[in-house]
Chains A and B, each alone.
Chain A
Amino acid sequence: MEPLALLVAATLNAGTVLAIAGLGLLINERAGIVNLGAEGIMLVAAIAGFATAVHSGSDLLAFAAGAAAGALLAAAFGWLVIWLNTNQYATGLALALFGVGFSAFVGLSYTQATLGQRARFVLPWLSDLPFVGVALFRQHPMVYAAMALAALIAWFLYRTRSGLVLRAVGESPESAHALGFPVRRIRLAAVCAGGALCGLAGAYLSVVYSPLWMEGMVAGKGWIALALTTFSTWRPARVLLGAYLFGGVTMLQFHLQGQGVDVSSHLLSMLPYLATIVVLVLISRNAAFIKANMPASIGKPFHPGA
């Protein structure tokens, strides 16, 4: 049972970066904005967080720095996309490209830096429980924060008035505008919140998950997170599911490799991606369900008074 418990624990850990970034992108997309620049945002936040941790020694400050960097970049993106009505996909891609180069540039002097001994987090009594103790209660607080975040966002979207307004903006900005809501400001707020979460995910990656800086270290997780929001049909709990599925299958294939399973490591490495496609197909079969959940105005520009 021990290996299974360890696998569960590793899955939760491996999925956290994807989950937090995915939740941020979900907020974006609920307001109708697709931010393809997630990878760039995560990278810039990763170096911002890492540099802050190196100079200040505080993880919390580092997370804050990452979130701030993410929000700032997202704000610039938001200004272009919401006020200047530039094409969302192209602008997001430009942000991704820019972020990759910018983070590599800024991070040039941090490649040899280290963060020292990292703290270990073990919940006092719960972690001694058989199986669940190992599986669930020996994680960094951020792992639990990701789960709490999903619950919080779900509550916000479906149980609060502001969440309703956000969803309305995402469904039909014209109607929301006609009702008197400040559509552009709401969208900007969503974009910044989403950027902050992506930034948090990036900082977590470079400060806790694999505490060092290397250019390009996000290694495509931003793109996977984007895919996950689609996979999740824009529901927060499903973002978690997708993130853990992906992380879990990744750890599983490593486990299979180590156990000597008679399949090429390349084919095993395909598993997380294939699994994601399969589950997506299963989820999407009901077209009406998709239509019911996809924010109708995704990707489309909004012109007040047009």
Chain B
Amino acid sequence: MTDSAKHALLKFTALGAIAASAALVGCGKTEEPAPAAAPAAEPAPAPKPEPLKIAFAYIGPVGDGGWTFAHDNARKALEKEFGDKIATSYVENVPEAADAERVIRDMVAQGNKLIFGTTFGYMESMLKVAQDHPEVKFEHATGYKQAENMRTYDSRTYEGAYMAGVIAGGMTKTNTLGVVGSVPIPEVLRNLNSFTLGAQSVNPKIKTRVVWVNAWFDTAKETEAAQSLINQGADVLFQNTDSSAVLQTAGKNNKMAFGWDSDMTAYSPEAHLASAVINWTPYYTQAVNEALDGSWKGGGHVWLGVKDGAIDLVSISDKVPAELKEKAEQVKAGLKDGSFVIWKGPIRNQAGKEVLKKDEVASDDFLRGIDFYVKGVEGKVPSAK
């Protein structure tokens, strides 16, 4: 062996030795010192039950002002509501790839009994871990595969999109609406379609232009996409991305836009029309209650909407004339009591073909697999074959 190779081997053996000895030392230590039960110190009749350990896996940072922010707000609400009956923890920025499985397995190893995975991409990983650990309950957001100890849940964000569309249709002067799309998955297609339908309900002449940034947030690209839409004549913008860049670009150009995922009024009060806000607290509270009293059952899919308090259109601006606001509130009331259905035929796709016949109500399955644009949306669906 050459000298340099010998050196290389020696020095890295040394490094390896350090690592190995650290491991040996570490193996001797217990992971977490078990809290002393101390029954003798307190003559309490029954020891307090161990808090239910709940863990959350987030796709983004908790400060993203959007998707993850909404989940984390609900987590904090849980802590306030249930006090020391539960103990929550989270891991943020967990990528939707091979790493997710490891993080979730570690959550199980840490004694968490209820685990929330907040993005579609965790589906296969959660399923694998669920199969290995029947004693742990798994909640997966926006997915479609279940197991005996795993169920899926989602928010009907498209209801918020529809209500925003109602306002947009009434506020536009150019009859051109712009949508900054994130990634062309059914959820986003459904949202922009619902937005268009809502606008058409008050203003049948509108056109919607869509531009895709291929990311959930990329502030510079969102800014450029929004600018491009404005340059193409859109005066009201809608987004399915997570940052406030679109709203701010609208403000810069004296146009109007909406907030998404959270209340974005503060980012550009002049441009802000309303915000579609997701609220996971009602569902999470229900899930935790079920887990605590033993009635939690896996295998199902829960899709919550305005009726369940999971999505709402808030902070409607004063720029919006009273009758238009009233209309939006009417839709909200109709969604709340079930008297109003957004996806009811006749609804045509871009090619003019009827996808829903007159008075036909779309099933949840239909909605979950949407891969077309409705009439009124310009452009080609990126995921079409």
Contact = CB atoms under 8 A, between A and B. Distances in A.
Nearest to B230: A6
A262 B380 contact: yes
Given A212-B244, A266-B214, A258 B63 contact: no
Q: How large is the interface on A (under 10, 10 to 19, 20 to 34, 35 or more residues)?
A: 35 or more
Given A118-B252, A211-B248, A258 B219 contact: no
A261 B212 CA distance: 13
B267 A260 contact: no
A120 B61 contact: no
B121 interface: no
Contacts of B63: 108, 111-112, 215
Contact of A259 (B220, B221, B232): B232
B217 interface: yes
Contact of A251 (B184, B215, B228, B270): B228
Which of B61, B270, B378 counts the most A-chain CB atoms under 10 A from its CB? B61
Contact of B228 (A212, A217, A255): A255
B220 A217 contact: yes
A250 interface: yes
Given A210-B222, A219-B218, A263-B380, A118 B228 contact: no
Interface residues of B, number: 42
Nearest to B384: A264
B228 A258 contact: yes
B227 A13 contact: yes
B295 interface: no
Interface string B221-241: 111110111011000000000
Contacts of A254: 211, 224-225, 228-229
Nearest to B66: A214
Given A10-B231, A250-B224, A260-B378, A265 B251 contact: no
A260 B224 CA distance: 17
Contacts of B211: 254, 257-258, 265
A205 interface: yes
A146 to B, nearest CB: 15
A249 to B, nearest CB: 11
Nearest to B219: A210
B186 interface: no
B220 A265 contact: no
Given A118-B252, A210-B219, A212-B267, A14 B378 contact: no
A104 B61 contact: yes
Contacts of A112: 63, 65
Given A254-B224, A255-B232, A214 B248 contact: no
A260 B244 contact: no
B251 A118 contact: yes
Contacts of B382: 264-266
Contacts of B248: 118, 210-212
A219 B219 CA distance: 8
Contacts of B38: none
Which of A209, A219, A258, A265 counts the most B-chain CB atoms under 10 A from its CB? A258
Tell me whether chain B's interface is mostly helix, strand or loop, or mixed.
mixed
B220 A210 contact: yes
Contacts of B278: none
A117 B184 CA distance: 32
Contacts of B245: 210, 212
A298 B248 CA distance: 41
Nearest to A46: B219
Interface string A223-259: 0000000000000000000000000001100110111
A17 interface: yes
Contact of A114 (B214, B224, B225, B266): B266
B223 A258 contact: no
A113 to B, nearest CB: 9
Given A265-B184, A265-B212, A269-B214, A255 B223 contact: no
B380 A14 contact: no
Given A214-B217, A257-B211, A265-B214, A6 B231 contact: yes
Nearest to A258: B209
Interface in A248-302: 250-251, 254-255, 257-266, 269
Contacts of B61: 104, 111, 215
B220 A219 contact: yes
A217 B380 contact: no
A7 B220 contact: no
Interface in B189-217: 209-212, 214-215, 217
A210 B214 contact: no
B64 interface: yes
Which of A17, A214, A262 counts the most B-chain CB atoms under 10 A from its CB? A214
A141 interface: no
B224 A264 contact: no
Contacts of B231: 3, 6-7, 10, 255
Contacts of B209: 258-260
B266 A251 contact: no
B243 interface: yes
Contact of A212 (B178, B219, B269, B380): B219
B210 A114 contact: no
A86 B352 CA distance: 65
B379 A257 contact: yes
The 10 A-B residue pairs with the shortest CB-CB distance, nearest first, are A111-B63, A254-B228, A6-B231, A210-B219, A260-B379, A265-B212, A258-B209, A265-B382, A260-B378, A210-B223
21 contacts: A14-B224, A104-B61, A111-B64, A112-B63, A120-B252, A209-B220, A209-B223, A210-B223, A212-B219, A212-B245, A219-B220, A250-B224, A254-B211, A254-B228, A255-B231, A257-B211, A258-B228, A259-B378, A261-B380, A264-B380, A264-B382
